[in-house]
Amino acid sequence: MGRWRVEPGRYELLAGASSEDVRQRTALTLDGEPGVPRAVLEHGLDAADFDEQSGTEIVDRTRESGDAVTPVAGQSGELLFRRCDFGSGVTEVTVEVAGGGTVDLSLDGGPVFATLPPRTPTSGPYDYVTLGAPVAVDGVHGVQDLRLGLRGPLRLARVGFLSG
């Protein structure tokens, strides 16, 4: 969600020499802040705000500030963003990327609905371009989980969505 928060609920705290040698435990209930769907049509997604990942690492977006995500060298990576609200539907997707490679977008458990390859690799890791592609399937609407597949030597900074 782009900031720190705690889900409400009951939590158990354990203290000990190791996870197999728990010496003290207590439970507490936190009010917290319930999660809400991500307003992706309004705000888009910063790549580093993923909920889960595999085969990726967070890298610097520019020399001065910011974060981007890249596949671990020589591998494909995946990012998962839970509870994305696509409203009444998405017709186009954009990515802000540097380098070369592709970004595949799919809904959790569904087919790829957009693939964005850079036209030509950018000149360096901090040379970002914004690329767009139409959404190739129906059904990208409502609240759903979004998966992004990252392939090749690219840095993904941001994903945006446009509705018809």
pLDDT digits (tens, 9 = 90+) for 90-132: 999 999 999 989 999 999 878 899 999 866 788 888 999 999 9
Helices (H) and strands (E) in the chain, counts: 1, 14
pLDDT tens readout for residues 22-46: 999 999 999 988 888 999 999 999 9
- Cα 162 to chain centroid distance, Å, stands at 17
pLDDT tens-digit profile of 138-157? 778 999 999 999 999 999 99
Give the integer Cα–Cα distance in Å for 154 and 107. Answer: 21
Cα of first residue to Cα of last residue in the chain, in angstroms, is: 25
DSSP 119-134: SS--SSTT--EEEEEE
pLDDT score at 6: 85
Q: In whole angstroms, give the CA distance from residue 118 to residue 49.
A: 22
Q: What residues contact residue 69 under an 8 Å CB cut-off, 6+ apart?
A: 47, 48, 50, 53, 56, 57, 58, 59, 77, 79, 150, 155, 156
For residue 164, is pLDDT > 80? no
CB count in 10 Å sphere of residue 107? 19
